[in-house]
């Protein structure tokens, strides 16, 4: 990894029911924000929110959503690939993806390189309970981990609720990820949003760039933004409010773990990856792969519960 400036953009979706014209307008708004952000900050890595091309809650059937979106690469990714090549940046964008059969839709994020090539597609492996097909939603979960080499460093991707699951980010860190992009449409609370990004950054000593949705999606759900950039020592170095716009920060591997706390003269002697007790992990592998045992009851969503972002 080399030093560079990263940015997280939060942009509101166009109001109204999803149509090809609305999706085109959403894409154009995203492109405009990226252009302005890069011109002002010099960012070389830019992250956009989850489902930025449509808004999170589609307010239509899964089959209709499948008809409206595209395969990746395809019509949904090409404008972003063209812009990344034009600006010479690495770009991470959240978008729904058409699956192999009508009715199979993935919640995906793409990573585009400076030459416009598609470095990777990550499909959300932990859809939120109301988003997942298994819970009556519209998203089929993915089953792969995506970490890509770039001139900036090794970059992984998680999407929103994925950030609640330590294993996914740990796998990416073990695979060499130095930066994890987290496109999101998180609604539960700003505290949970911040907590989970900081925890995943600190667990694995990686930078986390969280771009959270703002505005109102096609189903009328309101998002709070608060996009942020977190250091490998869990310090938030850039944080947005709820407005449309961006935050940016300089990421420098030389200073990422240079002190125990920000600005301290005390150096950090531990490393969460280096110091893992692998014998313990091997000894409990079967339990780690088994259904969890818990004393707490877990109720399902209320019958009148309206799906919301995460």
8 Å CB contact between 224 and 242: yes
The β-bridge relationship of strands 214-216 and 222-224 is antiparallel
The one catalytic residue in 160, 178, 194, 308 is 160
Q: Let me know the angle formed at the C-alpha of 251 by 246 and 252, rounded to the nearest 5 degrees.
A: 165
8 Å CB contact between 226 and 241: yes
The one catalytic residue in 37, 44, 124, 194 is 124
Query: Residue 209's closest CA among 226, 192, 189, 229?
Result: 229
Whether 124 is a known active-site residue: answer: yes
Task: Please state, in angstroms and rounded to a whole number, the distance separating the CA atoms of residues 183 and 180.
Answer: 10
Whether 50 is a known active-site residue: answer: yes
What CA–CA distances, in Å, run from 90 to 117, 122, 215, 254, 305? 10, 15, 25, 21, 38
The one catalytic residue in 37, 44, 50, 194 is 50
Active-site residue set: 50, 124, 160
């Amino acid at each position: 990894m080399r030093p560079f400036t990263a940015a997280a953009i939060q942009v509101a979706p166009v109001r109204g029911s999803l149509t090809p014209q609305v999706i085109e307008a959403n894409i154009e708004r995203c492109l405009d924000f990226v252009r302005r952000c890069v011109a002002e900050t010099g960012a070389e890595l830019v992250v956009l929110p989850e489902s930025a091309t449509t808004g999170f809650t589609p307010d239509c059937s899964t089959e209709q959503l499948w008809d409206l979106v595209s395969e990746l690469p395809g019509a949904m990714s090409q404008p972003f690939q063209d812009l990344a090549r034009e600006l010479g940046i690495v770009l991470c964008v959240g978008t729904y993806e058409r699956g192999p059969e009508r009715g199979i839709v993935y919640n995906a994020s793409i990573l585009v390189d400076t030459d416009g090539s598609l470095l990777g597609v990550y499909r959300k492996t932990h859809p939120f309970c109301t988003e997942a097909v298994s819970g009556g939603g519209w998203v089929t979960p993915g089953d792969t981990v995506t970490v890509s080499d770039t001139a900036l460093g090794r970059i992984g991707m998680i999407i929103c609720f994925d950030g609640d699951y330590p294993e996914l980010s740990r796998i990416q860190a073990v695979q060499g990820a130095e930066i994890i992009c987290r496109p999101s449409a998180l609604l539960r609370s700003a505290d949970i949003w911040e907590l989970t990004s900081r925890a995943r950054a600190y667990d694995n000593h990686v930078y986390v760039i969280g771009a959270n949705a703002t505005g109102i999606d096609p189903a009328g759900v309101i998002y709070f933004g608060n996009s942020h950039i977190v250091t490998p020592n869990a310090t938030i170095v850039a944080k947005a409010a709820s407005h449309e716009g961006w935050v940016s920060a300089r990421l420098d591997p030389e200073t990422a773990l240079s002190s125990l706390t920000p600005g301290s003269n005390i150096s950090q002697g531990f490393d969460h990856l280096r110091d893992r007790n692998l014998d313990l992990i091997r000894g409990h592998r079967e339990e780690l792969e088994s259904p969890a045992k818990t004393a707490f009851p877990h109720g399902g969503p209320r019958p009148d519960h309206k799906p919301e972002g995460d």
